[in-house]
A and B are shown apart, each in its own frame.
Chain A
């Protein structure tokens, strides 16, 4: 058994329109799929030119989970404790950081040079953690 790609990842968001505004409008991702399936809105985005790797922006709630469980998910998400994180790469961490600051994105960690590269942290409007790195070539 050999798996050969991570094609989709998922994060929870509290509001899918606001998520679209953030991930597409501010981070510059592309809308991949926005489809009303009846039981849920299937909303995915991808980095420009990379439609084979989608991120599903899922809203927690019934009927997939009961209201009490959804409330727990929402609470953990807004506390930054839900887990899950997105790691993206860039050719120029400082420039990307400057652009995101100008767009009013919440910065959690300023660009810092580490043994693996230069990276910084941001948070989406709901509490999800995102890391953006300009990675050095692996030895």
Chain B
């Protein structure tokens, strides 16, 4: 593998880390491409080649994962959680959440299970609904 591919991987990982860290901010492709020091088109294409899903999909599912955690771990209301994890509207949040999780946020909360006390990077990595089954 060439040095260029290693540097590209690391740049894509830096952008993915930014999504994991700043998911609640209004992150968009131009901002993420800047973090990776590449053009927007190149960023989308390379991110997908590196991690197997588009950056949009990665971020969407990170936000849903964070919402799932807040629904289980807190008593904050659904609208509050929707904005806290970075969604711009309750409609988009509810539709996306149901699409990915298969239940509404309220139904998901009713089925809550006790939170697990492991380092949060592991919980976040393993409970983010992925595109890979």
Contacts and interface: CB of A to CB of B under 8 A. Distances in A.
Contacts of A126: 10
B117 A115 contact: yes
A131 B24 CA distance: 21
A132 to B, nearest CB: 10
Interface residues of A, number: 28
A131 B119 CA distance: 8
Nearest to B7: A78
Contacts, number: 60
Tier of interface size on chain B: 20 to 34
A83 to B, nearest CB: 11
A65 to B, nearest CB: 13
A59 interface: no
Given A107-B21, A123-B13, A123-B17, A75 B119 contact: no
B1 A71 contact: yes
Interface in A110-139: 110, 112, 114-116, 119, 121, 123, 125-127, 129, 131, 133
Contacts of B121: 85, 108-109, 121, 129, 131
Contacts of A115: 115, 117
Contacts of B12: 79
Contacts of A75: 1, 5-6, 9
A116 B117 contact: yes
Interface string A58-84: 000000000000011011001110000
Interface string B82-95: 00000000000000
Interface in B114-133: 115, 117, 119-121, 124
Contacts of A72: 1
A78 B51 CA distance: 11
B50 interface: yes
A11 interface: no
A78 B120 contact: no
Contacts of A107: 17, 21
A121 B17 CA distance: 10
Contacts of B124: 109
Contacts of A127: 9-10, 13
A49 to B, nearest CB: 24
Interface of A: 14, 71-72, 74-75, 78-80, 85, 87, 106-110, 112, 114-116, 119, 121, 123, 125-127, 129, 131, 133
| 7 interchain residue pairs of minimum CB distance | A78-B9, A71-B1, A108-B17, A115-B117, A78-B6, A80-B13, A78-B10
